[in-house]
Amino acid sequence: MSNVLRLAMVDPNDSTREELKNTLLGVNSVWLEAESSRYEFFADIVGQTTPDIGIVAIDADATKAVELLHKLRDTSPECSILVISSSTDGQLILQAMRAGAKEFLTRPVSIEELVTALERITNQHGGRDSGHVQGCQVLAVAGATGGVGATSLAVNIGCALAADGGNSVAYIDLDLSLGDADVFLDTIPDYTIVDVVQNLSRLDFTLLKRSMTKHASGLYLLPRPVQLQDIPLVTPDALQRVLGLLKATFSHVIIDLSKAYTSVDMAAIESANRMLLVTQLDLPSLRNVVRLLMSFEEIPGLKEKVHVVVNRVGLDSGQISMKKAQETIGREIFWQLPNDYRVMVEMRNNGVPLIEQAPRAGITQSIVTLAEELSGADKPETGSTAENKGRWLSFWGKAKAKNSD
């Protein structure tokens, strides 16, 4: 349970308490340790269960609730307090904050607001085990041009992450015109991203998961629209709301971008923690990498998220050298994937991820190691794993990578 944020909550109102409880139960990164319907008992409950965060709904009796906040501050200072109320009275908010509340949310509380508040408390104030609590990691994957293997990489990273029982992984196919992640996974989805955005007003954890297709690997897929006419329904605002729920529900979200870099793609990139820009060692691809990096400089903080991944390294058809490629793009290569065209074609045609189709292949091991690095997993460094980690560490300036001449 070390990766889970432990909560306790009090709300004398049965209906709102049950509503909040159901919301919290759908968030994988939290554990509801205890709940109470009486302000008088909650301080003892917190003392006995020692949660990281206590949630106090104060509408039933604001005076008693504020007294409880004072008591919790004195008796359980290690427990951070989140207050929820339907009131927007500034005086009440001030009283709650002075009494020790770290965050104050006004009802109705959206899931995005709740999760964001919990993350702020964890990051800024620190619960008892806050150093071990991990938020959702959002990874965007895009190609510098078509055919460089971006979808192949995104799908196989997602399946590699999902193979770890401690992860819950969602995959969004944002190539809204020609996305084919469902083909790579040999699935026939019942719903698409359009079905989700058309039901945003009533979207919750349960409906969201029911709208996604679960692959045998454990990966949850949200595919592109069926009809081209439906593409305009997927807007940047709608995507942000969907991502908000996905981030609250899953430990990892993989976003497979289109090659058009539309406003929807850019919203996804800005929401991501990292972006993998996939290229090959040919002039058109590297030229596009330079163009994209120059464009990303216009948006603060965006260029720093981008990690360049070179696919099909070792192809014998007159590739540009790795050294020349790095000089061209002006930055280190984050990861190198070996050329194994036969294995990749078999994987794509069979609709079976590499970890099942060819678990011992070099390309599989490289992608699995990359997934471990992206998720922060602590694995032994041997063979190709240590070599790839050397490249990763060199990107951060912690070691010097060896690059091809």
Residues 128 and 141 reside in one and the same domain: no
Question: Distance from CA of residue 30 to its chain's centroid?
Answer: 15
Task: Give tens-digit pLDDT for 165-216.
Answer: 889 999 999 999 999 999 999 999 999 999 999 988 777 777 888 899 999 9
- Shared domain check, 165 and 96: no
- Over its C-alpha atoms, the chain yields an Rg (Å, rounded) of 24
Backbone angles phi and psi of 180, in degrees to 5: -140, 30
d(CA 182, CA 293): 29
| Boundary of a domain, candidates 80, 111, 132 | 132
- State both tokens at 304: 């720093």
Do 6 and 35 contact (CB within 8 A), yes or no? Answer: no
β-sheet with 137-143: strand ranges across: 213-214, 220-222, 169-173, 252-256, 137-143, 274-279, 306-313, 335-338
CA atoms within 13 A of residue 44's CA, in its CB half-sphere: 6
Domain-embedded: residue 403: no
Q: What distance in Å separates the CA atoms of residue 32 and residue 27, rounded to the nearest whole number? A: 10
In a domain, 405, yes or no: no
| Residue 396 confidence (pLDDT) above 60 | no
CATH number at residue 38: 3.40.50.2300
Of 83, 76, 128, nearest in space to 102 by CA: 83
pLDDT at residue number 41: 95
| Tens-digit pLDDT profile for residues 8-54 | 999 999 999 998 888 887 676 788 889 999 999 999 999 999 999 99
Asked whether residue 248 falls in the same domain as residue 352, the answer is yes
351 and 277 belong to one structural domain: yes
Q: DSSP class of residue 232?
A: G
Same domain, 211 and 343: yes
Of the candidates 134, 24, 149, the one whose C-alpha atom is nearest the C-alpha of residue 82 is 24
pLDDT of residue 390: 35
Q: What pLDDT, on the 0 to 100 scale, is given for residue 134?
A: 55
Maximum pairwise Cα distance, the chain: 76
- Any domain includes 329: yes
The pair of structure tokens assigned to 384 is: 């190709």
> Could you tell me the CATH number of the domain that includes residue 211?
3.40.50.300
Whether residue 336 contacts residue 365, with contact meaning beta carbons closer than 8 Å, is answered with no
pLDDT number for residue 309: 98
Structure tokens at 401: 């990578």
Boundary (domain end) residue, out of 132, 165, 185: 132
Secondary-structure breakdown of the chain: helix, strand, coil percentages, each rounded to the nearest 5:
45, 15, 35
User: How far apart (Å, rounded) are the C-alpha atoms in residues 253 and 310?
Assistant: 22
One domain for residues 30 and 96: yes
For residues 6 and 11, which has the higher predicted lDDT (pLDDT)? 11
Task: Based on the fold, state whether residues 172 and 214 are members of the same structural domain.
Answer: yes
Q: What is the pLDDT of residues 85-98, one digit of tens each?
A: 999 999 999 999 99
pLDDT of residue 200: 82
Q: Is 313 helix (H, G, I), strand (E, B) or coil?
A: strand
Across 377-391, average pLDDT: 40
pLDDT tens-digit map of 123-162:
765 444 434 445 689 999 999 999 999 999 999 999 999 9
- Is 372 part of a structural domain of the chain? yes
**Number of structural domains in the chain:** 2
Q: In the structure encoding, which two tokens stand for residue 259, read together?
A: 């090659």
pLDDT at 391: 38
The rounded mean pLDDT for the chain is 87
* Closest of 291, 324, 296, 294 to residue 310, by C-alpha: 324
For residue 185, the SS3 value is coil
Q: Are residues 193 and 314 in the same domain?
A: yes
Residue 395: the pLDDT is 32
What is the structure's pLDDT at 400? 31
Considering 132, 151, 181, which residue would you say is the last residue of a domain? 132
**94 and 149, same domain (yes or no):** no
Range of the domain at 322: 137-395
Q: At what angle do helices 263-271 and 236-249 cross, to 10 degrees?
A: 30
Residue 214, domain member (yes or no): yes
Whether the predicted pLDDT of 246 surpasses 70: yes
**Pick the residue with more confidence: 392 or 92?**
92
Task: Tell me: do 196 and 227 sit in the same domain.
Answer: yes
Domain assignment of residue 75, yes or no: yes
Residues 100 and 181 in one domain: no
> Tens of pLDDT along 213-227?
999 999 999 999 999
